C-alpha cells in the first residue's frame, strides 16, 4: 500500500512539474488534462484521477511556482546586504533565469497575464496574492536602498518598481519572441543604467 501511495505521489509531482512547464511557455489556459496526458504519456483518466479537477491543479501550479520564485530568485539574494546589492542580485538573477532557455524559467506570472480570462476567480485571486507578495518584498528592498542613501530620496519607489518590471517583461519578449541570445546581457545593462539614473550621487572625498 505504501509503495502504491508513493507512486501516486510521484506521479502527481510529475503532473505538477509538467503543468508548470506548459504554463510558463503557453499560459495557464494551456494546462489541460489532454495536454498533460500527452506530455507525460498517461491516459486522460490517469491524469484526472490524481488532480481532482483542472482548476485544482492550476491552483497547485501557482502555489508551487510562487514557492520556487522565492527559493530560486529572492532567498539566494538574502545573502547580500540590505539595499541596492540585494536588489541588484534579485533582478539580475531573475533576468538570467528568464533568459536561460529552461522550461521552468521564472516567468509564469508574466505569461499568465495574457491568459487571465481563462482562469477561475480562485486561481486569479491566488495569482494576484503571489504577485502582491513578491512586489511587497521588492518594494521593501527598494525602500531599504533609499534608507541607506543608495537611491535618491526624491524617487517614487512604486514607479521604480514599475520600470523594473517593464524591463523584465521586455527581456521576456525579446528572448521568447525575437530569440535574441544576447537578451540577458542587454537587459542587465539597461537595468544598471536605470539604477545609475536613480542612484544618489557619491560625494567626493
Cβ 35 vs Cβ 22: under 8 Å: yes
**66 located within any domain:** yes
Cβ 60 vs Cβ 16: under 8 Å: yes
Domain that holds residue 84: 62-198
Q: Burial level of 204, CB count in 10 A (0-12/13-18/19+)?
A: exposed
**1 located within any domain:** no
Reading the chain (205 residues) residue by residue, the pLDDT tens digits are 455 555 666 688 888 889 888 888 787 888 888 999 999 998 888 888 888 788 888 888 888 888 888 888 889 999 999 999 999 999 999 999 888 866 556 677 777 766 666 567 777 888 888 889 889 999 999 999 999 999 999 999 999 999 999 999 899 889 888 888 899 999 999 999 999 999 998 765 5
As a whole number of Å, the end-to-end CA separation of the chain is 72
**139 located within any domain:** yes
**96 located within any domain:** yes
**120 located within any domain:** yes
Grid cell at residue 100: 536561460
**23 located within any domain:** no
Distance (Å, whole) CA 122 – CA 188: 35
Tens digit of each residue's pLDDT (9 = 90 or more) over 81-101? 999 999 999 999 999 988 886
**99 located within any domain:** yes
We report the CATH number of the domain holding residue 160 as 1.10.357.10
**194 located within any domain:** yes
Using the CB atoms, write b or e for 141-161: b if 16+ within 10 Å. Answer: bbebbbeeebbeeebebeebb
Domain count, the chain: 1
Distance (Å, whole) CA 27 – CA 172: 14
Tens digit of each residue's pLDDT (9 = 90 or more) over 169-190? 899 889 888 888 899 999 999 9
The full 3-state SS of 88-114, as one line of letters, equals HHHHHHHHHHHCCCCCCCCCHHHHHCC
Grid cell at residue 23: 504554463
Q: Burial level of 1, CB count in 10 A (0-12/13-18/19+)?
A: exposed
Amino acid at each position: 500500500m505504501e509503495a502504491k501511495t508513493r507512486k501516486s505521489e510521484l506521479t502527481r509531482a510529475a503532473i505538477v512539474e509538467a503543468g508548470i512547464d506548459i504554463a510558463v511557455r503557453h499560459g495557464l489556459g494551456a494546462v489541460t488534462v489532454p495536454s498533460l496526458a500527452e506530455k507525460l504519456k498517461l491516459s486522460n483518466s490517469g491524469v484526472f484521477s490524481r488532480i481532482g479537477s483542472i482548476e485544482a491543479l492550476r491552483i497547485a501550479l501557482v502555489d508551487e511556482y510562487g514557492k520556487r520564485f522565492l527559493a530560486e530568485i529572492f532567498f539566494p539574494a538574502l545573502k547580500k546586504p540590505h539595499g541596492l546589492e540585494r536588489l541588484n542580485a534579485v533582478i539580475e538573477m531573475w533576468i538570467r533565469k528568464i533568459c536561460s532557455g529552461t522550461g521552468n524559467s521564472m516567468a509564469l506570472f508574466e505569461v499568465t497575464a495574457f491568459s487571465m480570462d481563462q482562469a477561475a476567480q480562485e486561481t486569479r485571486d491566488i495569482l494576484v496574492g503571489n504577485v502582491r507578495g513578491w512586489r511587497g518584498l521588492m518594494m521593501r528592498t527598494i525602500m531599504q536602498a533609499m534608507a541607506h542613501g543608495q537611491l535618491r530620496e526624491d524617487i517614487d519607489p512604486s514607479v521604480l518598481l514599475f520600470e523594473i518590471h517593464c524591463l523584465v517583461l521586455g527581456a521576456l519578449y525579446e528572448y521568447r519572441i525575437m530569440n535574441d541570445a544576447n537578451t540577458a546581457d542587454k537587459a542587465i545593462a539597461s537595468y544598471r543604467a536605470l539604477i545609475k539614473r536613480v542612484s544618489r550621487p557619491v560625494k567626493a572625498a
